[in-house]
A and B are shown apart, each in its own frame.
Chain A
């Protein structure tokens, strides 16, 4: 780790002013960022500690939603009574990820901004366009079992590793950000971006902007939801494939459905047109297989991760059944419900 300057921001304005250069970083829980410093992946000149900012609360929004402060920890969010009751998929997704210790330290804002787990991103002796622009992609033709199958480019096949964001994606949350030029709102679907030819840009934040909150809309889909995560061990591992499903059912028919995939793309992967096609359908294996094929349409494997294509297809079908039946995947019983 290289020496850096550390400043503690006293206010939001203070924080935004202190982070003047692209090489400066905000730091909150630090569960990912500190590792990146140690691996020499990130080389901060200045760290702006935002932990004292008043962004650590969960508040009711007018119209029935909830505002999750960006400094609320993942654990506080997952165990919040309002979240558990109204947005159980969010609680479930968070609890499927990391460990209790990490969730206690990691914040909601940090979860949105965590970096990929691509092996080449972390290994500074290897090429990686995301870490070192224009150095090449080591994962293509390399060890790419954990890499993506959707939304990739010739420059990068890294995935976004969050579980929480996959749930946020199907809840259509709004990300509140502040910058020196003012505040703005980014819909979750537009927050993370595809690599294209600039894989070093994970998201659409502008330089110096800070996430202040995540707004959950009123509709929480508490009756029909699931977060199904498949991984190499039963706990404390990143998803090979995960699926968040929420549904609104009426008289046994699907009235509305939203499905997002995790572990397979640079962002939670949704195809709204395919979701629309589920409306009015009666849950069945055929319907869900058709939907799964539409959701993973265009998926491409890179050798080591070819298995993610059939795995994603199977996981989507299973998760849709779980949500439709109102039997969500438990995160403590490790058998697939």
Chain B
């Protein structure tokens, strides 16, 4: 089904029928519960509130820290510093590259500005916050040659052996250097990008409770509750069984461990990669242990800048060569990225370069510099959004050199098979995406002459870019119980970070069980539940959806077996293999049918089934039969006032092909949200660091700008549906990141078309147009 243009999506039957968010009503009514909403009454225990004191200096050390006045301040129960805090054990985090080896409050050394150097615990937030101002700190001299930017840290650059999630930092096919040197048309560009933070509406928040049996219960927004439980288990010295809370047991061995660290993750008010393996995850339990009460810690906006991750600074050199007809011959990408003082995360900027276009000679090389800042980490469109910025600008430049329309340039270099492996794609409808989006924005009216198009006083520019993001899967476990009441419970520790996971997973279970949505209860976000996949890398719906679907099919089969044996059923004596679920009915080949709910009500005992996906040998790192990516095309129309050079993105049209849309409304929201992110990255998002002090200077939403409604009025998302059942049991692909990828390049290309200015530095503000 090709849903077609945006208006058609909204009007389509599939869209209208798409289940609304199951938690949506609570959210708009203000009844939805977030971690910060846990007060003493909800927890049914007295809780203390903590507030961080952060360092005013980036390097050197804390010489003295005087907490007397703070301790004497009303309501204060404790002040934690490196001098009185119990030592934590080393964390070998599986996912938590951001925490790394820099555990909080362990010694006096400063690693970055805004580092937590004390934690005040009091009976209320205002008491804690007031006392935090009374903590007196003196510092040693700062280091004489700190590096807070790539420019300052040039001599710290080193080859990155691994980038992203254990991908190679250096890859090559063919002989790109040699072939590039011989190419007829060549471009050689350098692009830059500034750091910027996730700025999820909800800041970091956590409530830590030590239980009477020595166990630890955590409530916090997380994209990976199991992963955070491992970090906590390691840091607080739980035994092996406790600190591997069933990941290995369940996923690899089918064993059960009794874990003592429990992480409950309620709704997250936005995450975007920022909510896992955070420093404050360790601070709250430290404080709770010291005061003997549950402790709540919510970061201020400013503290999220230094205590949570961000997208680090990057610089790329991209060289691209083509023959006289515009056919790509060589791509060379040299990447420099910023790393933090701790952690091992290196942004996978070159992730898509090996897969984007048909080209026989491709080389990527990543280098990174460890800077004296907090650690950059995963952020929506990780790496690829930056890599595609350089790649798609270069494509535009090459098209111009070869005298080809940018659209035609992309078609000419379309990768019919996965370039680096030669595998067939599981599905790829990129050409349709180009066509749909081009038609929608009116690309055929584009005059290729730079600066030639006008609308009233304004210069008009059209630009485009390809969107591509890998589709991967992780392990996940789900269990489903069908009760004789005709209702079912699904258990899997999935995460709701705003992407609609609760809705889509309830939907998958209901569809496969043949039950109405309201009869299916999803239990989620808790390490007491079967292992759910982390909500990262556009992998959540695929991974958890596969596990839930498989468990539901098992339940279905068991029910079928019960039904055919039951004399009261109209399906008595049918063959199990002749039965199928159709809507809310079990239907036999001969047309006999019975409501699933009615069949369930005849059960003597509940049916309980569990399924695991992504277990070896299907681990995502192992070779896969098909190339699996989600594709799209983004087209932009800009208006530039020739007098002031004021820029407005008038329209942004994206068409995306991601298999079957599980829920067209949720998918559309994901895509629109992603495109807004792309627009923010293109035009404004920037975290400003003082290059002398290493402090973040615009750590608030008044000065760290993100797009507002007035910036985003012209955004449209088109869904191209495709059959990807050979790629995934549900025929779906990951849609979380794709909307971000390519937006900034399309904007840059449109600006060039309007003005002749080739902007290669993100964000592209008015400064660069004057």
Contact indicator A125/B711 (Cβ below 8 Å): no
Give the Cβ gap from B140 to chain A, nearest Cβ, in Å: 16
Question: Which one, B641, B684, B767, contacts A335 given CB within 8 A?
Answer: B641
A154 interface contact, C-beta 8 A = no
Instruction: Give Cα A138–Cα B457 distance, bound, in whole angstroms.
Output: 41
* A182 contacts across to B, CB distance below 8 A: none
Chain B positions 622-667 with a Cβ under 8 Å from a chain A Cβ: 639, 641, 643-646, 648
Contact indicator A336/B695 (Cβ below 8 Å): no
Contact indicator B697/A334 (Cβ below 8 Å): no
B519 interface contact, C-beta 8 A = no
| Max chain A C-beta neighbours (<10 A), residue from B133, B457, B767 | B767
A145 interface contact, C-beta 8 A = yes
Contact indicator B765/A314 (Cβ below 8 Å): no
A20 interface contact, C-beta 8 A = no
Contact indicator A142/B766 (Cβ below 8 Å): no
Contact indicator A311/B643 (Cβ below 8 Å): no
Question: Which one, B126, B641, B707, contacts A336 given CB within 8 A?
Answer: B641
Could you give, for residues 695-709 of chain B, a 1 whenever the CB lies within 8 Å of some chain A CB and a 0 otherwise? 101111011010111
With A125-B56, A142-B692, A232-B766 known as contacts, the answer to whether A311 contacts B644 (CB < 8 A) is yes
Contact indicator B56/A235 (Cβ below 8 Å): no
| Chain B minimum-CB-distance residue to A243 | B644
B710 interface contact, C-beta 8 A = yes
Q: How many A residues, CB 8 Å from partner?
A: 40
Could you give, for residues 303-321 of chain A, a 1 whenever the CB lies within 8 Å of some chain B CB and a 0 otherwise? 0000100110011011001
Chain B positions 734-770 with a Cβ under 8 Å from a chain A Cβ: 765-767, 770
| Chain A minimum-CB-distance residue to B709 | A235
* B641 contacts across to A, CB distance below 8 A: 318, 335-336
Question: Which one, B683, B693, B695, contacts A233 given CB within 8 A?
Answer: B683
Contact indicator B133/A335 (Cβ below 8 Å): no
Contact indicator B684/A232 (Cβ below 8 Å): yes
Instruction: Give Cα A101–Cα B739 distance, bound, in whole angstroms.
Output: 30
Instruction: Give Cα A143–Cα B697 distance, bound, in whole angstroms.
Output: 8
Contact indicator A233/B766 (Cβ below 8 Å): no
Contact indicator A230/B646 (Cβ below 8 Å): yes
Give the Cβ gap from A287 to chain B, nearest Cβ, in Å: 15
Instruction: Give Cα A130–Cα B691 distance, bound, in whole angstroms.
Output: 21
Instruction: Give Cα A234–Cα B693 distance, bound, in whole angstroms.
Output: 31
| Interface class of chain A by DSSP | loop
B688 interface contact, C-beta 8 A = yes
Give the Cβ gap from A296 to chain B, nearest Cβ, in Å: 14
With A233-B710, A318-B643 known as contacts, the answer to whether A2 contacts B705 (CB < 8 A) is no
With A120-B697, A335-B641, A336-B646 known as contacts, the answer to whether A233 contacts B703 (CB < 8 A) is no
A40 interface contact, C-beta 8 A = yes
Question: Which one, A138, A234, A314, A318, contacts B770 given CB within 8 A?
Answer: A314
* B711 contacts across to A, CB distance below 8 A: 233-235
Question: Which one, B133, B695, B703, B766, contacts A230 given CB within 8 A?
Answer: B766
Instruction: Give Cα A314–Cα B639 distance, bound, in whole angstroms.
Output: 17
With A237-B705, A318-B644 known as contacts, the answer to whether A142 contacts B770 (CB < 8 A) is no
Contact indicator A138/B708 (Cβ below 8 Å): no
Chain B positions 349-377 with a Cβ under 8 Å from a chain A Cβ: none
Give the Cβ gap from A88 to chain B, nearest Cβ, in Å: 21
Contact indicator A307/B770 (Cβ below 8 Å): yes
Contact indicator B692/A1 (Cβ below 8 Å): no
B690 interface contact, C-beta 8 A = yes
* A35 contacts across to B, CB distance below 8 A: 702
Instruction: Give Cα A142–Cα B683 distance, bound, in whole angstroms.
Output: 22
Contact indicator A117/B708 (Cβ below 8 Å): no
Contact indicator A232/B705 (Cβ below 8 Å): yes
* A234 contacts across to B, CB distance below 8 A: 648, 708, 710-711
B574 interface contact, C-beta 8 A = no
Chain B positions 339-356 with a Cβ under 8 Å from a chain A Cβ: none
Chain A positions 231-254 with a Cβ under 8 Å from a chain B Cβ: 232-237, 240
A63 interface contact, C-beta 8 A = no
* B697 contacts across to A, CB distance below 8 A: 119-120, 123, 126, 142-143
Could you give, for residues 32-72 of chain A, a 1 whenever the CB lies within 8 Å of some chain B CB and a 0 otherwise? 00010001100000000000000000000000000000000
With A123-B695, A123-B697 known as contacts, the answer to whether A143 contacts B645 (CB < 8 A) is no
| Chain A minimum-CB-distance residue to B767 | A307
* A335 contacts across to B, CB distance below 8 A: 456, 458, 639, 641, 648
A225 interface contact, C-beta 8 A = no
A22 interface contact, C-beta 8 A = no
Contact indicator A145/B688 (Cβ below 8 Å): yes
* B130 contacts across to A, CB distance below 8 A: 1-3
| Chain A minimum-CB-distance residue to B641 | A336
Contact indicator A119/B645 (Cβ below 8 Å): no
* A120 contacts across to B, CB distance below 8 A: 697
Instruction: Give Cα A117–Cα B700 distance, bound, in whole angstroms.
Output: 11
| Chain B minimum-CB-distance residue to A306 | B767
* B57 contacts across to A, CB distance below 8 A: 125
| Chain A minimum-CB-distance residue to B768 | A307
Contact indicator A119/B644 (Cβ below 8 Å): no
* A138 contacts across to B, CB distance below 8 A: 690, 693
Instruction: Give Cα A39–Cα B639 distance, bound, in whole angstroms.
Output: 39
* B689 contacts across to A, CB distance below 8 A: 143
Chain B positions 707-732 with a Cβ under 8 Å from a chain A Cβ: 707-711
A122 interface contact, C-beta 8 A = yes
* A123 contacts across to B, CB distance below 8 A: 695, 697, 699
With A232-B684, A237-B705 known as contacts, the answer to whether A314 contacts B644 (CB < 8 A) is yes
Residue pairs across A and B with Cβ atoms less than 8 A apart, 6 shown, are A2-B133, A3-B130, A143-B690, A232-B765, A240-B766, A314-B645
Q: Which 8 A-B pairs give the minimum distances between C-beta atoms? A: A125-B56, A234-B710, A235-B710, A336-B641, A119-B697, A307-B767, A318-B643, A143-B688
Give residues in B with beta carbon < 8 Å to A: 56-57, 113, 126, 129-130, 133, 302, 456-458, 639, 641, 643-646, 648, 683-684, 688-693, 695, 697-700, 702-703, 705, 707-711, 765-767, 770
Besides the contacts A143-B688, A336-B644, what 6 more A-B pairs have beta carbons closer than 8 Å?
Answer: A2-B130, A126-B697, A232-B684, A233-B708, A307-B770, A335-B456
